[in-house]
Amino acid sequence: MTKITFIGGGSTVFAKALMGDLLSKPHLAHAELCLFDIDPERLRLSEAVGHRLADALGVTPRITATTDRERALDGADYALNMIQVGGYRPSTVIDFEIPARYGLRQTIGDTLGIGGIMRALRTIPVLLDIQRDMERLCPDVLHLNYANPMAMNCWALRRASPIRTIGLCHSVPHTADKLAHDAGVPADELRYLVAGINHMAFFLRLEHEGADLYPRLRARLEEGRVPDDDRVRYDLLGRFGYFVTESSEHLAEYVPWYLHVRRPDLVEKYGIPLDEYPRRCRLYEAAWGYIEAELREPGSQDPEALRQRLWAQEPDAMPSQIDAITGDLAAMDEVRPSGEYASDIIDSVHTGEPRRIYANVPNHGSIQGLPDDCCVEIPCLVDGTGVHPTRVGALPPQLTALMRTNVNVQELTVEAALSGRRDHVHQAALLDPHTAAELGPDEIEAMVDELLEAHADRLPEGLRPVER
């Protein structure tokens, strides 16, 4: 029996989506789904949801749940990782509140910037512990990582362990769907080639029935028909010539030009939602009672009642945030494809059926001009022998140059996590495009020291404050 382990299986909404995908595959419908989490209550909820999905699909998997990580990993063929070390409270709150006192505001804080650096430093040690367990208990496992910061996590894991780790993100297919809408073509007829680094990969080709769609996107920009929630990405398209894969609120943190608290005119011009991720977390906190009740008893909750409650609590929320949460609630009793790659990868490896997906893997020459061991997001072919990266070659030089500014921060953060050198944390922050655009060097180093102290109990030993 194929064993698929969920690390962080108490992330019930996401686990539900992935379990639904897996159990919808005929060859995986009778697999063992082993859910692991450190929260027993959320774990029991996810287990109950898994059984209900199986009943709805008429399949007979073996679904187990455990708070024992070794038991969960023992003999696993595949491991899906979706952990968030430190959670929203206290860790993400710290990542936003301390920088804000220095005048550094963020939107998401999970990929780059000071928030991404700190998240990597507390996540990588936990992932390394997990992989050491894998080396003993399931050395041939295929580890599919969803945890952010994707590039830094995967870079560190592939350097420190022989376990096969593939990073998965939905930004490529989600952006493809958005571009199809903006260009006025059916999403399933879109043809594209994407390459770069996670959250900063670019659509190198974008076509419909052999026709280049970029002229349509540039026309929207020139005619002022840019969507209000995507002004940053369209501006970057105008200046660099290609469309990037992650949302405007994410992208604003990866470059030095848009997110300036001391220039509120720029924040307003580009429609940048400050503190977007903390606001989203507060919304989910407010919604969790509704979601949990719906998970336990489908059809018992009213999405419109939840919508009104969320608007009352967070009147400045983005409409898309409210729509996403109420949409989750409305779909709790449905089994529908999530669009995530995990089930397709596992099915292809299990059956040998070839597929093409986008994944985060070591560069190893796939993209010229980027470090050989950095993590890149590129097309990969999947079959019965595993996941095989393709070679993309040289990118337009302006795109490679832009990516290097992010890769520099990733590399120093990975070095800090693996070596315990505090100076590399300072240097990563000093080189971060957004941080350097807002703060002076003394402010940056003081902020980093304060963050390291606040996160001390979750950091590698060398990064903890020295007791005097």
Active site residue 199: no
In this prediction, residue 468 carries a pLDDT of: 40
Block residue for tokens 């095989």: 388
H-run or E-run covering 270: none
In this prediction, residue 462 carries a pLDDT of: 84
Residue 139 burial (C-beta neighbours within 10 Å; 0-12, 13-18, 19+): exposed
**pLDDT (tens digit, 0 to 9) for every residue of the chain, 468 residues total?**
999 999 999 999 999 999 999 999 999 999 999 999 999 999 999 999 999 999 999 999 999 999 999 999 999 999 999 999 999 999 999 999 999 999 999 999 999 999 999 999 999 999 999 999 999 999 999 999 999 999 999 999 999 999 999 999 999 999 999 999 999 999 999 999 999 999 999 999 999 999 999 999 999 999 999 999 999 999 999 999 999 999 999 999 999 999 998 899 999 999 999 999 999 999 999 999 999 999 999 899 999 999 999 999 999 888 989 999 998 888 887 899 999 999 999 999 999 999 999 999 999 999 999 999 999 999 999 999 999 999 999 999 999 999 999 999 999 999 999 999 999 999 999 999 999 999 999 999 999 999 999 999 999 888 977 654
| Cα dist from 359 to 10, 119, 157, whole Å | 24, 21, 15
The pTM of this model reads 0.97
In this prediction, residue 382 carries a pLDDT of: 98
**Measured between alpha carbons, how far is 429 from 230 in angstroms, rounded to an integer?**
26
In this prediction, residue 467 carries a pLDDT of: 56
278 preceded by a cis bond (ω within 30 of 0): no
- What phi and psi values does residue 200 have, to the nearest 5 degrees? -140, 50
The HSE-up count of residue 274 (CA atoms within 13 Å, CB side) is 17
Q: Under a CB-based contact definition with an 8 Å cutoff, are residues 219 and 238 in contact? A: no
**Measured between alpha carbons, how far is 7 from 380 in angstroms, rounded to an integer?**
24
Q: Following DSSP, what letter does each residue of 309-326 receive, concatenated?
A: HHHHH-TTS-HHHHHHHH
Q: Which of 170, 174, 208, 350 is catalytic?
A: 170
In this prediction, residue 466 carries a pLDDT of: 62
In this prediction, residue 460 carries a pLDDT of: 87
User: Residue 92 gets which letter from DSSP?
Assistant: I
In this prediction, residue 465 carries a pLDDT of: 72
Indicate the pairing of strand 386-389 with strand 200-208.
Answer: unpaired
